[in-house]
Structure 1
Amino acid sequence: MDIWLEPDSSKDKTRTSQTLARGLRILDCFVTYGEELGVAELSNLLHLPRTVVARLVTTLAEHGYLAQNQENKKYRLGMSAYILGMHANREYSLRQMAWPSMQCLAASSGETVSLTMLDEERLVGICIASIDSPLPIKLTTRTGSVLPLHRGATRKILLAYASEAIKETVLTQLQEISQSSPDSVESLKKELLEIRRKGYAYSEEELDDGAFAVAAPILTEKGELLAGIGVAGPIYRKTEESLQRLISLILSSAREIEKRWTQPL
């Protein structure tokens, strides 16, 4: 394993911040040396004391630039780093790769389409892209909106395909904070298992009165969650036939995005 040394102390540092430079070098490590790194590994790579590294990664995690894997306690790049990178290089972002499929899905369904990602630090779903229905009566999804993971198909699909540690944390918090009964938490557990069995999520009036939603996961080649794609609209336009058609369309769109992600041009 390579070691990153501190910059030459003979250089003029009066116009730079050593703390900021160290934080940026920590972020660089995740690009160069691996998707997940622990404090000890970062300490060795950067030739910095563990206490210094621990303080820096804690700060980066608090601001969303790193996210901690609750199972092995290692860190990886967080949602803030993703959003920054998305703005810096849109061509290769998930949003850009998903956009053609989202447009086709919106045109085929006539309903609002959204792309949602899991924020593992805040345990919420974040809408990173949306296309509103052209119809006068529609459900509007605002890009950047943040909602809890236990309500609505577009968020439940994220929770269903999240790690076991994240699922357990969300379910525990749900019971403690919202005073949900053990029965309702157990019911949600069963629903998440059913979502994974079917490969999609469906909800009615969980977030908005008179609205329904269908969502499917977008996964990596290893089966890890990238995002969720959802379609939402007013219940009065939904029939059993149209619902089955939407499910088929959204599953097809998710597979298209996965293929584009794993086989970029």
Structure 2
Amino acid sequence: MIQSIRKAANILEFMKEQNREYSVAEISESIEYPPSTTHRILNTLINCGYVAKDERTHLYKLGSGLISLGLSAISNINIQNEASPILKDLSEKTGEDSFLIIRSGNNGIVISKSEGPHPLKIVENFGIEIPLHKGAIRKVILAYQPKEFIEAYMQRDLEPYLENTEIDKVKLMSDLEKIRKNKISVSISEYIQNAVGIGAPVFDYKNEFIASMGIVAPQDRAEETGVDFIQDSIREHAEILSKKLGNYSNMY
């Protein structure tokens, strides 16, 4: 690894987090580089257009040269490709099949999947569309839709949960609010008997919701593994995917 490039990247990473102006001393102290080294790297980044300096205040900020790089990177991102190794790691960590689901009209549809090691599985296949109010992973999608969409969705005759349980729309709205607040969703036996679903949101570089990531598992096995552990794992991996898509806004 070329250390000077690594140091320059660390400076850019630090400046990206807060998106404001910094002094040399502030940057140097935060990333633990000598001021002389920090100043020299900043001057190089200025020449590349990646950092800009205010000559009046002597403060530094990210430069416009990064815009074209960012746009080029975005155009090369494929969410399924980016999600694949992350879902695989999530399945290895939790021992369960993991899924990436997006909205298709009023339904949610699986676009990427990784299988866990257990032979006994809860079947979730590609291409099968299930209403957004059914199951934790799809509820995440519903929770992050525009207010107008959610209001219109609630006006529909919603397909009941298992055993013809009538949908309590007041409770459903409360569930959606909790999902937005906690960035996690948990459901039990809503469309698969004795199954637990857990999901978390994925955000893109514009800080907009783009997909839902999670697992579906037999209830007894999820409880044995630890629902809190699974929740934390899903949040962690959803955040990793969000960062892969360019989101560094500390949404979790």
**Scaled by the length of structure 2, what TM-score is found?**
0.62
- Give, in angstroms, the shift of residue 238 of structure 1: 2.3
User: d(CA) in 2 for partners of 1:129 and 1:207?
Assistant: 20
Match of 2:80? 95
For the structure 1 residues 241 and 141, does the alpha-carbon distance in structure 2 shift closer, same or farther, using more than 3 Å as the test?
closer
Give the C-alpha shift of residue 183 in structure 1: 8.0
Residues 188-228 of structure 1 deviation map (CA, whole Å, 9 limit, x = unaligned): 11110011111110000001011101000001244321100
User: Residue 239 of structure 1 is aligned with which of 201, 219, 223?
Assistant: 223
Which deviates more, 130-139 or 150-159? 130-139
Q: Are 2:120 and 1:137 equivalent residues in the alignment? A: yes
Unaligned runs of 5+ in 2: 1-74, 248-252
> Partner residue of 1:260?
244
Partners of 2:125 and 2:175 in 1: CA distance: 26
Q: TM-score, normalised by structure 1?
A: 0.59
1:110 aligns with 2:132: no
How far apart are 1:140 and its partner, in Å?
2.1
**Following the alignment from structure 1 to structure 2, what is the Cα–Cα distance between the partners of residues 183 and 251?**
27
147, 165, 177: which one aligns with 2:130: 147
- Equivalent residue for 1:216, pick from 200, 203, 208: 200
Q: Structure 1 residues 181 and 142, CA, compared in 2 at 3 Å: closer, same or farther?
A: closer
SS of residue in 1 equivalent to 2:116? coil
Once the 2 structures are TM-superposed, how far is the Cα of residue 100 of structure 1 from its aligned partner?
1.2
Structure 2 CA distance for partners of 1:109 and 1:201, relative to 1, 3 Å: same
Q: Aligned partners of 1:217, 1:182: CA distance in 2, in Å?
A: 26
Unpaired runs of at least 5, structure 1: 1-89
Tell me what 2:209 maps to.
Answer: 225
Once residues 91 and 132 of structure 1 are traced to their aligned partners in structure 2, the CA distance between those partners, rounded to angstroms, is 26
> Does the aligned pair in 2 maintain the 1:133–1:139 contact within 8 Å?
no
Residue equivalent to 1:15: none
Query: 1:154-193 counterparts in 2 under 5 A?
Result: 154-174=137-157, 184-193=168-177
* Secondary structure of residue in 1 paired with 2:99: strand
Q: How far, CA to CA, are the matches of 1:223 and 1:118 in structure 2?
A: 17
Structure 1 pair 221/127, CA: closer, same or farther in 2 (3 Å)?
Answer: same
Shift of 1:236: 1.2
Structure with the greater alpha carbon radius of gyration: 2
Matching residue's letter, 2:85: P
Structure 1's consecutive aligned runs of 4 or more residues displaced over 4 angstroms after TM superposition are: 180-183
Asked if 2 retains the 8 angstrom alpha-carbon contact of 1:132 and 1:141, the reply is no
Q: How well do the aligned residues superpose, as a CA RMSD in angstroms?
A: 2.4
CA shift for structure 1 position 133: 2.5
Give the 3-state SS of the residue equivalent to 2:101 in structure 1: strand
CA positional deviation for 1:166? 1.2
Structure 1 counterpart of 2:94, which letter? S
Contact 1:127 1:142 in 2 (8 A): yes
Deviation of 1:132 after TM superposition, in Å, equals 2.4
1:128 equivalent in structure 2: 111
- SS of the equivalent of 1:92 reads coil
Query: Which of 165, 180, 194 does residue 196 from structure 1 map onto?
Result: 180
User: Does the aligned pair in 2 maintain the 1:132–1:139 contact within 8 Å?
Assistant: no
